[in-house]
Amino acid sequence: MKKLSVFLILVLTAGLFSSCASEGDGSGQNFNLSLLGNPENLDPQLAADTSSFTVIKNIFRGLFKYDRSGRLVPDIAEEYSQTGLTYRFKLKDNVYWYAKNHPKTPVTADDFVFGFQRLFAAETSSPYAEDFGCIENVTAAGDTELEITLKYPNPNFTALLASPPSFPCNRTFFSGTKGRYGLDKDSVVSNGAFYMTQWFYDRYGPESILWLRRHPHNSTEESADSKIYPRNLYFTISQTREEIKEMFDAGETDFFLTDKIYNEYIGGDYEIDLYEGITAGILWNTEADRNLRDAFAMSLDLTGLSEHITPAAGIVPPMCYWEDKPFRELVPDSGNTPDFDGAAELFSRVKTDTSIKILAPENCAYMELLQPITLTWQDLFGIYVGFEPVSQGEYQRRIESKDFTAALYEISGSSVYDIFGKLNEIGAAPPYERETAYSADDFIELEKSALEENIFLPIAYKRDYLVHNKSIGGVYYDPSSGALGYQYGITK
């Protein structure tokens, strides 16, 4: 494990030794945490990496949010109404912008107007503009009255308003950053639960840190769903997952998010929160022989999977909601019965090489966990079936250029609309028109059609585990971005 300077050790241990709750409801905690890699950009309209999303979730607020139980609820929107394609919002008047170099300033409707203007501006080049293509216009009528008009109905609209690209942006502060908004500690302003006090990154040194402190002006709301519980968040920025685990095992951090189960954490002083927000499976190149795809799907045998894997009943993962309930509750699990003879007959029609190498990002736990399935295919078809691990950058490049026959692939999203939007992008689902208002039954039929195409073959719901001491908890996990929200973190 890397060596920390005396200064950094003193600061981190100060957080550890002062971590006892100061209030009877479990608040007042100081958390020592870790990020995998330096946040690349804390601009909500541009952020794309998990570390950035984690910080953004803790320093920004939007019109809506997900509460501690995972329900979508209004946030800065104190009240809202919908009439046809028009949404009207009355904003809270006690939410403020704040930074060490920026005075307390109320969050206004114009901040949301400017945020959406930036989202759609060509010079911003936001990768999320298309996701909000349903918006026709955004206007402010005073400081607390906001109106958004849509081009066409979107039942997923309020969920979109809980995502970072819809977060507000303060015009004055943004202009003052002179093009560096979100890129350093002096170019970040908070309207959320915490504000930034330090952000230092040294790619080659041991003292990369990012510290957040409870927002002094947004901590006066005392309801269970709005109160900010922790006092400080001390992040160290690590380069590898192994380094993060070492720090957790040494007692230097309080939480450890992992996609692997470690026996040493089962029982004892630890508690493990389980999340299933991603569907892992095999993505076929759309040009792959249909008989090849169907043969692999027909012979998929999930009975030999590890006890640490949940076999997938469909494409949409368990943590993905339709309105107020998980989508998987709407679709009964029909189970999976492999037809080995039929698969072998189909494969006999395939003109292929003597091997199928499944592209995968290196260090992916699923390569080992899915080995029983690949061995079954190998024995049945008489060819080599294995994984081709490559770097994350190389994996992404080859996925985008379709330079693969089959790939280990993950599907996730904050809503059913997100899931099917991504399936369209990879050619794995029938046409899905954003302008069309879909019902739950429509999406059930779309998933059924996608499964019949066998371009994306779901195998398992990926498990992510948040490990922590039994004496603390309350952290929120967003499976669509991998971000952790600490506003509700408490001492039990």
Residue 324's pLDDT is what? 66
Domains in the chain, ordered, with CATH? 6-267+470-491 (3.40.190.10), 275-464 (3.10.105.10)
Closest CA to 304 of 409, 459, 457: 459
Average pLDDT rounded to a whole number, residues 84-98: 95
Average pLDDT for the chain: 87
In this prediction, residue 72 has a pLDDT band, given cuts at 50, 70 and 90, of: confident
The predicted structure's pLDDT at residue 3? 39
Using pLDDT thresholds of 50, 70 and 90, give the confidence band for residue 224: low
Counting residues of the chain whose pLDDT is more than 90, the rounded percentage is 59
Q: What percent of the chain has pLDDT over 70?
A: 90
pLDDT above 50 (res 8): no
* pLDDT at 12 exceeding the cut of 50: no
Tokens of 144: 């607390």
Strands 96-99 and 86-91 turn out to be unpaired
pLDDT at position 9 is 42
Instruction: Write the single-letter amino acid at 489.
Output: G
CB 235 within 8 A of CB 211: yes
Q: Supply the pLDDT for residue 146.
A: 98
Q: How far apart are CA 68 and CA 32, in angstroms?
A: 20
> Where does residue 409 fall: left (phi above 0), alpha (psi -120 to 50 degrees), or beta otherwise?
beta
Task: Please say if the pLDDT value at position 10 is more than 70.
Answer: no
- Neighbouring-strand partners of residue 116: none
Name the band, by pLDDT with cuts 50, 70 and 90, for residue 17: very low
- Helix/strand/coil (H, E, C) string of 246-257? HHHHCCCCCEEE
pLDDT band at 223, cuts 50/70/90?
A: low
Q: What is the pLDDT of residue 334?
A: 66
- Mean pLDDT throughout 210-225? 78
Q: pLDDT band at residue 6, thresholds of 50, 70 and 90?
A: very low
Look-up: residue for tokens 């510290």?
A: 211
Closest CA to 489 of 10, 17, 25, 53: 25
CA distances from 225 to 126, 228, 326 (A): 30, 9, 21
The burial class, CB within 10 Å (0-12 / 13-18 / 19+), for 449 is exposed
Tokens coding 218: 């947004």
C-beta of residue 376 within 8 angstroms of C-beta of residue 304: yes
Q: What is the mean pLDDT of residues 187-216?
A: 91
| 184-198: pLDDT as tens digits | 999 999 999 999 999
Q: What is the pLDDT of residues 288-324, one digit of tens each?
A: 899 999 999 999 998 878 777 889 989 999 888 776 6
Point out which residues pair with 384 in neighbouring strands. 355
Q: Give yes or no for residue 267 having a pLDDT over 60.
A: yes
> What is the C-alpha end-to-end distance of the chain, expressed in Å?
30
Model confidence over 229-260: pLDDT tens digits? 999 999 999 988 899 999 999 999 999 999 88
Task: Evaluate whether 312 touches 279 at the Cβ level (below 8 Å).
Answer: yes
User: What are 376-418's pLDDT values in tens digits?
Assistant: 999 999 999 999 999 988 998 999 899 999 999 999 877 787 7
Q: What is the DSSP letter of 185?
A: G
Give pLDDT, residue 18. Answer: 43
Give the per-residue pLDDT at 395: 93
Across 237-265, b (16+ Cβ under 10 Å) vs e yields: bbeebeebbebbeeebbbbbbbbebeeeb
> How many angstroms separate the CA atoms of 299 and 367, rounded?
18
Task: Indicate whether 367 pLDDT > 60.
Answer: yes
Element (H, E) at 270: strand 270-284
Phi, psi of 460, deg, nearest 5: -150, 150
Paired sense of beta strands 456-469 and 270-284, if any: antiparallel
Name the residue with tokens 């039994």. 470
- For residues 447 and 220, what is the distance between their CA atoms, to the nearest angstrom? 45
Residue entry with tokens 């990154």:
201
In the predicted structure, residue 121 carries a pLDDT above the cut 80 = yes
Joined together, the tokens standing for residue 227 give: 């109160």
Q: Which of 145-149, 466-470, 481-485 has the lowest mean pLDDT?
A: 481-485
Burial 8-20 (b: 16+ CB within 10 A, else e): beebbeebeeebe
pTM: predicted TM-score of the whole model, two decimal places: 0.83
